[in-house]
Chains A and B, each alone.
Chain A
């Protein structure tokens, strides 16, 4: 029997002296050695990020699950009544599920049971259970949302990449293509991913991509995308154009700008043409240009 699997024992390096000597007389011995040597150099092309996978697994558990205990004294009646109670429980639990989804050109304001507010950006999904909410402020996000959280117990946003926890603050969470980006506008938030935790303070943001943490500063008071309109109060033309340029990420210049005059009013933050039209009318100017560079010219 031993003799039968001698090549396995050879590969293992556990052949005894005489056994090895016998094998060395085999005309195929050199080839066996070659196979043994080169097969030990083999590798699997494997780029899977285990930490991201672990975070996904840890986040996969349904938070509503209660730990089950084995029920010892049996009986059908007991089992049946437990089943009925469980069914009612499940139905009741599911009736508490709240889901909000936005389409491609849609934003949505959501009020949570504790008075906290969420603005959901386009193509996003927010889910929570109002019964569980009584015990723990916990919700699930796909896409992007801006949170204004009232003070209270811990508030947790779960995503496919990691989770973000806070205590009364304003922050933005964006999860797309496996990247989790958290920006804090007020207070502090804690970001958790793959066993690593970090506190992000106001004015900072952190993006997690493939387990790498990138830190950035933020200068706005709230995410640009939540401001569908821009308000100005007695603003000179130069200030208006700077602000518009920042929001739309374009360059806007003025020729022969009027020395005097200010603008008070609001313009859309999602339609540059209309915005320039309104500003132009206010200062008696015309606008031209496209592809990121615009000009205002006096009529």
Chain B
């Protein structure tokens, strides 16, 4: 009975693999992007990592698929020397209310703050930026971030905390 259940979730099954792919590919790509700042490259490496998983699907049990994926992707990404600045944008939906009700002065200040925040995030250390953005953009829980980075939840919290302090320091004029 148990083997049946395991078989059901084998990553070698195209349907299981496709579902897993659709769930994970975006987060994986962003994970790589936050660290290395090259979307095209991140996208290629994410695809290569999935191809490796598909190739070796008979050796990776379903529960290990996610850690396997991230470690393969991370190792491939490390071979890339170049490192570009991470570019981000703000969601259009979040701004509706402010645009209609706020004063021009507020809007100008907001615009300046948003630009400075982007720059401040780009200047965080790689490890801090990665953990911070996985939480803020991809809305992963600290435990999930810890799992894919292969570190403890405490360590993730530490990184986020330090990221906040670093951001505060660069943005202190907006207090």
Contacts and interface: CB of A to CB of B under 8 A. Distances in A.
The judgment on whether A and B are partners is yes
Interface of A: 1, 4-12, 27-28, 30-32, 34-35, 38-46, 48, 50, 53-54, 56-58, 60-62, 65, 67-68, 195
Nearest to A69: B58
Nearest to A14: B142
A38 B114 contact: yes
Contacts of B46: 53
Contacts of B142: 8, 12
B103 interface: no
B168 interface: yes
Interface in B22-68: 22, 25-26, 29-30, 33, 39, 43, 46-47, 50-51, 54-55, 58-59
Nearest to A12: B142
Interface in B157-175: 157-158, 160-161, 164-165, 167-168, 171-172, 174-175
Nearest to A9: B157
Given A4-B161, A57-B54, A35 B167 contact: yes
B148 interface: no
Contacts, number: 132
What are the 3 tightest A-B residue pairs by CB atom distance, in nearest-first order? A7-B164, A8-B157, A8-B160
Residue of B12, B59, B160 with highest tally of chain A CB at under 10 A: B160
Contacts of B50: 53-54, 57
Interface string B128-140: 0000110111000
Contacts of B164: 7-8, 10-11, 32, 35
5 contacts: A8-B157, A11-B164, A38-B114, A46-B29, A48-B39
Given A44-B30, A46-B39, A58-B54, A53 B136 contact: no
Contacts of A41: 90-91, 94-95
Contact of A42 (B47, B88, B156, B165): B88
A53 B88 contact: no
A153 B58 CA distance: 28
A53 B43 contact: yes
A27 B132 CA distance: 22
B114 A31 contact: no
Nearest to B173: A31
A213 to B, nearest CB: 18
A93 B21 CA distance: 31
Nearest to A26: B168
A65 B114 CA distance: 52
Given A41-B95, A58-B14, A6 B90 contact: no
Given A8-B161, A54-B22, 18 more contacts: A5-B161, A8-B157, A8-B160, A9-B157, A10-B164, A30-B175, A31-B168, A31-B174, A35-B171, A38-B90, A42-B90, A42-B136, A43-B90, A44-B88, A45-B88, A53-B25, A53-B46, A54-B21
Interface in B85-103: 87-91, 94-95
A50 B43 CA distance: 9
Given A42-B133, A43-B90, A46-B30, A53 B158 contact: no
A27 B160 CA distance: 20
B43 A34 contact: no
B117 interface: yes
Given A35-B164, A35-B167, A41-B90, A53 B175 contact: no
Nearest to A47: B39
B167 A4 contact: no
B17 interface: yes
B18 interface: yes
A7 B160 contact: yes
A34 B174 contact: yes
B136 A39 contact: yes
Nearest to B17: A58
B154 to A, nearest CB: 7
